[in-house]
Amino acid sequence: MPIYEYVAEDPARKSCPKCRDGFETMQHLTDPRLEKCPDCGAPVVRAISAPALGRSMSSLDDRARAAGFTKLKRLGKGEYEKQY
Ligand SMILES: [Zn+2]
């Protein structure tokens, strides 16, 4: 089952610790995408991670994120790609 990452659409308006930094969830391909954070109900968007960025890169990603380099590039309706 693929793992999808979701992140709060507008963390400044509504988010919780879970969706503010993004969370991962396992879903079937046929499952509808999440539209709300299961914890706080804030609107969430699916973040698409490039497959080349495996877990080995996560510490780098975390550092980039901590430094505020995370950017979301809008791909289409309700879809964003994380850029580091
Ligand atoms: Zn939340």
Domain that holds residue 51: 3-83
Longest dimension (CA), the chain: 36
| DSSP E strand boundaries for the chain | 3-8, 23-26, 44-48, 71-76, 79-83
| Cα 11 to Cα 1: distance, rounded to the nearest angstrom | 28
Centre of ligand 1 to C-alpha 46, Å, is 13
How many folded domains does the chain comprise? 1
Q: What is the distance in A from the centroid of ligand 1 to the CA of 69? A: 21
User: 40 C-alpha to center of ligand 1: Å?
Assistant: 4
pLDDT at residue number 42: 97
Residue 21 burial by CB count (10 A; 0-12/13-18/19+): exposed, middle or buried?
Answer: middle
> Cα(27) to centroid of ligand 1, in Å?
18
pLDDT at position 29, please?
83
**What is the predicted pLDDT for the residue at 19?**
95
- Please give the distance, rounded to the nearest whole angstrom, from the Cα atom of residue 31 to the centre of ligand 1: 20
47 within 8 A of 73, measured Cβ to Cβ = no
pLDDT tens, the chain, 84 aa long: 888 899 999 999 999 999 999 999 998 889 998 999 999 999 999 987 655 444 555 566 666 666 665 556 666 666 666 665
Confirm whether pTM is higher than 0.85.
Answer: no
